[in-house]
Every structure is written in C-alpha cells, then in structure tokens.
C-alpha cells in the first residue's frame, strides 16, 4: 500500500509538472522552474523519510515504518531527476562546465555530496540487501541523518529569496534529529 500511494504521488507530481510546462504555467524560465520543483519535492520526501520513525513511535503505530522505504526511494528518484535537469538542460552534459560551476557555486558541491551519499542507500534498499548486510545495513542507513541536513544546507545556500522555507526545513529536520539523539542517549 505505501509503495502504491508514494508511486502515485510521484507520478502525479511528474504529470502536473509536464502539464504546467506544456500549458506555459512554469514561468519565464521553465528549466529553472523544473530545477526548483524537483529540488523542493526531493527534499520534502527526504525530510518525510526522516520523520517516519519518530511519528510512528509518537502515535504508537509501528506499521507506519512501512512508509520509510518508499518515501526514501521517492526522495532519491526525484533528487536524481533534479540532477538530470541540472546536468542536461543547464550544463549540456559538459563535464568541464559542471566543474566550472561547482568552483563558482559551492552549494552545488554540497548538493552533489548529499546525492552521492544517497546512492548506496538506494542500492541497498531491498529486503534481500538488508538481510545479507545485517548490522552494516543499519549503520549505512543511519547516514540518512547526515544526508538530509546536508541537503537542507544545499537548499539554504541555493535559495536566496525565501529564507522562510529554509527555516521550516531546518526546524522540521532539527526536531527529527533531536528526537533521534535523545533516544540514543536514553
Ligand atoms: C539530495 C540531493 C539534492 C536535493 C534534495 C536538492 C534540493 C534542492 C533544493 C530544495 C533547491 C532549492 C530550490 C528552490 O529554489 O526552491 C535546490 C537548488 C539547486 N540545486 Fe539541488 N538538491 C540536491 C542535489 C543537487 C545536485 C547534485 C545538484 C547539481 C549537481 C544540484 C543543483 C542545484 C542547483 C543548480 C540549484 C539552484 C537553482 C537556482 O536557483 O538556480 N542539486 N536543490
């Protein structure tokens, strides 16, 4: 059920994006709009992933953890779409241009770090990998508590206009991290 619902949400977002671009509702620069939309929704999915366990514990509904994997994978796929838009539409797949841009705008390196760190998590998201890796799987997947803050920093550095959105992402992520730290020290 969570897999179906999350997949439908991702498909709906993709369809809404395609319609907005086709109907000319994506502002004067559709590529920039697409980069913003994919970045925003990727971060929403990732922050939601971080929140699944604390919310499941708070409302005493352990089965809610079944939402964690689909939400995390959705975050990874939408972040990958964000990277694809950046690398193709913005940089024409030119490695030198990407390197030059990274030197000029360090927040791109920060985003890249978050995305690269997500790859091993997505690659080991199957039940089989979890069973095979045992404790190493849990350790690896705990890096999500580092990845999401890095992604929030990237958003904050990239987004100059709306500090409110950054503060909201920071506040929500901060609450989930504090819950995790408090629980670890109990
Ligand atoms: C987990 C990975 C990532 C997440 C969650 C993410 C999320 C975001 C968010 C939320 C924004 C701000 C959008 C807005 O202004 O509303 C953004 C901007 C941006 N991101 Fe990422 N990002 C990630 C990785 C990357 C990577 C790997 C690259 C490039 C290689 C990248 C390139 C950019 C660029 C160029 C912008 C600025 C757009 C502009 O205002 O010109 N991002 N990202």
Decide if pLDDT at 186 tops 90. no
Say how many domains are in the chain: 1
Classify each residue of 145-174 as buried b or exposed e, where b means 16 or more C-beta atoms within 10 Å of its C-beta. Answer: eebbbbbbbbbbbbbeeeeeebeebbebbe
Decide if pLDDT at 173 tops 80. yes
CA-to-CA distance for 147 and 42, rounded, in angstroms? 12
Between 162 and 79, the more confident residue is 79
Spatial CB neighbours of 139, under 8 Å, sequence gap ≥ 6: none
Q: pLDDT band at 185, cuts 50/70/90?
A: confident
Compute the distance from residue 134 Cα to the ligand 1 centre, in Å: 33
Average pLDDT for the chain: 96
What average pLDDT score do residues 112-141 get? Answer: 97
Pocket test for ligand 1, best of 26, 30, 111, 146 (most atoms within 8 A of CB): 111
Predicted pLDDT of residue 177: 95
Compute the distance from residue 105 Cα to the ligand 1 centre, in Å: 11
CA-to-CA distance for 153 and 117, rounded, in angstroms? 15
Q: What is the 3-state secondary structure (H, E, C) of 116-174?
A: HHHHHHHHCCCHHHHHHHCHHHHHHHCCHHHHHHHHHHHHHHHCCCCHHHHHHHHHHHH
Predicted pLDDT of residue 12: 98
Percent of the chain beyond pLDDT 90?
Answer: 95
**Residues 143-160: pLDDT tens digits?**
999 999 999 999 999 987
Predicted pLDDT of residue 136: 97
Compute the distance from residue 35 Cα to the ligand 1 centre, in Å: 7
**Residues 118-129: pLDDT tens digits?**
999 999 999 999
Q: pLDDT band at 84, cuts 50/70/90?
A: very high
Nearest CA to ligand 1 atom 8: 39
CA-to-CA distance for 81 and 85, rounded, in angstroms? 6
The range of the structural domain enclosing residue 43 comes to 2-184
Predicted pLDDT of residue 34: 96
- Tell me whether residue 79 is exposed, middle or buried, using C-beta atoms within 10 angstroms of its C-beta: 0 to 12, 13 to 18, 19 or more: buried
CA-to-CA distance for 96 and 92, rounded, in angstroms? 10
What is the helix (H) or strand (E) element at residue 36, kind and residue range? helix 30-58
Residues with CB under 6 A from ligand 1: 32, 35-36, 39-40, 42-43, 46, 79, 82-83, 86, 108, 111-112, 114-115, 118, 151, 154-155, 158-159
Compute the distance from residue 177 Cα to the ligand 1 centre, in Å: 22
Compute the distance from residue 130 Cα to the ligand 1 centre, in Å: 30
Predicted pLDDT of residue 14: 97
Q: pLDDT band at 106, cuts 50/70/90?
A: very high
Q: pLDDT band at 27, cuts 50/70/90?
A: very high
Compute the distance from residue 63 Cα to the ligand 1 centre, in Å: 32
């Amino acid at each position: 059920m969570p897999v179906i619902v999350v997949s439908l949400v991702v498909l709906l977002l993709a369809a809404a994006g395609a319609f907005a671009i086709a109907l000319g509702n994506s502002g004067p620069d559709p590529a920039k709009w697409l980069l913003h939309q994919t970045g925003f929704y990727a971060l929403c999915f990732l922050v939601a992933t971080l929140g699944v366990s604390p919310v499941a514990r708070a409302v005493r509904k352990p089965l809610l953890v079944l939402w964690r994997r689909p939400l995390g994978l959705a975050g990874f796929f939408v972040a990958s779409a964000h990277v694809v838009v950046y690398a193709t539409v913005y940089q024409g797949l030119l490695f030198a241009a990407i390197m030059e841009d990274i030197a000029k705008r360090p927040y791109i390196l920060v985003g890249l770090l978050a995305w690269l760190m997500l790859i091993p998590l997505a690659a080991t998201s199957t039940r089989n990998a979890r069973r095979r890796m045992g404790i190493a799987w849990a350790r690896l997947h705990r890096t999500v508590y580092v990845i999401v803050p890095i992604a929030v920093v990237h958003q904050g550095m990239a987004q100059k206009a709306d500090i409110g959105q950054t503060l909201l992402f920071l506040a929500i992520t901060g609450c989930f991290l504090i819950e995790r730290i408090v629980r670890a020290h109990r």
